[in-house]
Amino acid sequence: MTIFDAGLKTNVKRMRPMPECVFCNVPKDEIIAENELALAFFDRYPVNQGHTLIVTKRHVETYFDATLEEKDAITRLLIDVKKKLDEEFHPDGYNIGVNVGAAGGQTVFHLHVHVIPRYRGDVPDPRGGIRRIKKPLVPYAAEGEV
């Protein structure tokens, strides 16, 4: 029995690892942390030093396809990964994000959570974080957009 056959507490259709999916085939020596339903490894195309991805062991396309147990496993692993990144890289902040669907920027269609350490001075003005991915529909006064 593999992790993909393990009994989940839900009736969600079980999906098998896909041989062509890069996140279903992470080499063991690249895994920096894992639990029963998720694993973490450094992003091969990092935005910043320490940029980590957390993926489900079961192949699911998006966050919304994951079971509550998988989402809980991701959250627990996120806490472990943050501790490791704090110890090794000493970041000043973090961005944590999930891209869902092609319109949301997802390019690998296997659920993955980006854990991006942020450092003072890595961008001229970090205010707004992910709010800055596009021009807002309504100006945000706290950021001087009005």
Catalytic residue among 51, 110, 112, 114: 112
Distance separating alpha carbons of residues 59 and 74, to the nearest angstrom: 14
What single DSSP character describes residue 13?
P
Contacts of 113 (CB under 8 A, 6+ apart): 53, 54, 55, 63, 74, 78, 96, 97, 98
Buried b or exposed e, range 32-71, using 16+ CB within 10 angstroms: bbbeebbbbbeeeeeebebbbbbbbbbbbbbbebbbebbb
Question: Does the annotation mark 112 as catalytic?
Answer: yes
Active centre residues (catalytic): 112
